[in-house]
């Protein structure tokens, strides 16, 4: 087991860092009532990532440039969809309409993959994900970006939380530099997660930790710590279990591990409050 952990050290570290960054981001997204919108943007990043992978098939660049191409394609496509969702003229803000856009994007991804047969293997990885398929180069890049985004979120947590309150309760538009940086960092983070660990991992880390601890934490700081613990410990334990039995899909086990850890923290928080 120790030898296997040393073999996958960089992919595991990158997954832990992305899990922490995604869990913090998810808390802010839920506070802004952007959950369904984020689901659509995450699906759009999947389409963009697949398009970027197709470009790498065409040009066969150096692995570093492959990372740049795929990440850029996913981020740009996510940004375009986010801009489209924000245009009042199209009326795309209702949940049922957003889910329709999600279904359309899923269909586009399926058709795109069918037209380029070489993408079929990547399609499974983009949705289900597998930490063990990450190269050390990709893992180190993901780790660096994840560390930077986590540091940014931690430093600006109070300002982001106050902005979410003003936006939802007071109806004050969010237009500061910090909020714009948060939006862009969220798109980049989702693309990195989809590219390396799969859409299932991204959605689990975004929404599962904050959903499990909602209503039990005594403060925003406690909630902030709990979501990071759920995401990171669940990722580590899920990875260990999948290493012990290679028949198990890594991301699926991580999701269940986060669920168990989340309920455990929720029970402890409830007992300590009573």
User: What is the maximal distance between C-alpha atoms in the chain?
Assistant: 61
Cα 250 to Cα 191: distance, rounded to the nearest angstrom: 19
Residue 173, pLDDT > 70, answer no
Domain count, the chain: 1
Residue-level pLDDT at 169: 66
Residue-level pLDDT at 7: 79
Query: DSSP secondary-structure letter at 39?
Result: H
Mean pLDDT, to the nearest integer, of 154-163? 85
Does residue 129 lie within any of the structural domains? yes
Mean pLDDT, to the nearest integer, of 179-190? 89
Residue-level pLDDT at 171: 62
CATH code of the domain in which 253 resides:
1.10.3470.10
Residue-level pLDDT at 274: 61
Residue-level pLDDT at 88: 55
Does residue 91 lie within any of the structural domains? yes
Mean pLDDT, to the nearest integer, of 8-30? 92
Q: By residue range, what is the domain housing residue 229?
A: 2-269
Does residue 97 lie within any of the structural domains? yes
Mean pLDDT, to the nearest integer, of 135-155? 91
Mean pLDDT, to the nearest integer, of 142-156? 92
Query: Residue 19 — pLDDT band, cuts 50, 70, 90?
Result: very high
Task: Identify the CA nearest to 210 among candidates 1, 3, 31.
Answer: 31
Does residue 104 lie within any of the structural domains? yes
Both tokens assigned to 30: 């839920």
Alpha-carbon distance values, 78 to 43, 195, 200, 254, 274 (Å): 8, 13, 17, 25, 44
Query: Residue 239 — pLDDT band, cuts 50, 70, 90?
Result: very high
State how far Cα 241 lies from the chain centre: 21
Both tokens assigned to 140: 């180190």
Using CA of residue 50, residue 107, residue 182, residue 237, what is the dihedral sign? Answer: negative
Does residue 63 lie within any of the structural domains? yes
Number of neighbouring beta carbons within 10 Å of residue 269: 18
Residue 225, pLDDT > 70, answer yes
pTM: 0.89
Task: Identify the CA nearest to 62 among candidates 168, 137, 144.
Answer: 137
Residue-level pLDDT at 129: 76
Residue-level pLDDT at 248: 83
Residue 5, pLDDT > 80, answer no
Residue 233, pLDDT > 90, answer yes
C-beta separation of 226 from 213 below 8 A: yes
Half-sphere exposure of 56 (CA within 13 A, CB side): 22
Does residue 257 lie within any of the structural domains? yes
**Tens of pLDDT along 46-100?**
999 999 999 998 888 888 899 999 999 999 999 888 888 776 545 567 778 888 8
Residue-level pLDDT at 174: 64
Cα 205 to Cα 87: distance, rounded to the nearest angstrom: 28
Does residue 165 lie within any of the structural domains? yes
C-beta separation of 24 from 153 below 8 A: yes
C-beta separation of 265 from 229 below 8 A: yes
Q: Looking at per-residue confidence, does 60 or 27 come out higher?
A: 27
Does residue 274 lie within any of the structural domains? no
């Amino acid at each position: 087991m120790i030898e296997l952990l040393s073999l996958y050290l960089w992919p595991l570290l990158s997954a832990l860092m992305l899990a922490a960054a995604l869990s913090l981001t998810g808390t802010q997204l839920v506070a802004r009532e952007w959950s369904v919108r984020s689901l659509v943007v995450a699906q759009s990043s999947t389409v963009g990532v697949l398009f970027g992978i197709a470009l790498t098939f065409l040009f066969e660049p150096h692995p570093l440039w492959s990372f740049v191409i795929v990440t850029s394609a996913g981020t740009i496509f996510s940004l375009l969809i986010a801009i489209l969702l924000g245009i009042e003229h199209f009326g795309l803000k209702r949940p049922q309409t957003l889910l329709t856009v999600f279904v359309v994007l899923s269909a586009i991804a399926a058709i795109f993959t069918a037209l380029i047969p070489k993408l079929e293997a990547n399609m499974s990885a983009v949705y289900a994900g597998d930490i063990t398929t990450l190269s050390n180069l990709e893992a180190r890049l993901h780790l660096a970006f994840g560390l930077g985004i986590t540091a940014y979120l931690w430093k600006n947590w109070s300002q982001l939380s106050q902005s979410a309150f003003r936006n939802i309760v007071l109806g004050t538009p969010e237009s500061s530099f910090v909020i714009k940086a948060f939006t862009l960092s969220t798109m980049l983070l989702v693309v990195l997660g989809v590219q390396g660990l799969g859409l299932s991992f991204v959605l689990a880390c975004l929404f599962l930790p904050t959903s499990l601890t909602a209503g039990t934490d005594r403060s925003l700081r406690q909630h902030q710590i709990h979501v990071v613990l759920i995401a990171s410990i669940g990722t580590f334990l899920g990875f260990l279990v999948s290493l012990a039995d290679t028949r198990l899909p890594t991301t699926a086990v991580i999701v269940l591990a986060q669920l168990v850890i989340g309920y455990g923290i929720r029970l402890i928080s409830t007992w300590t409050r009573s």
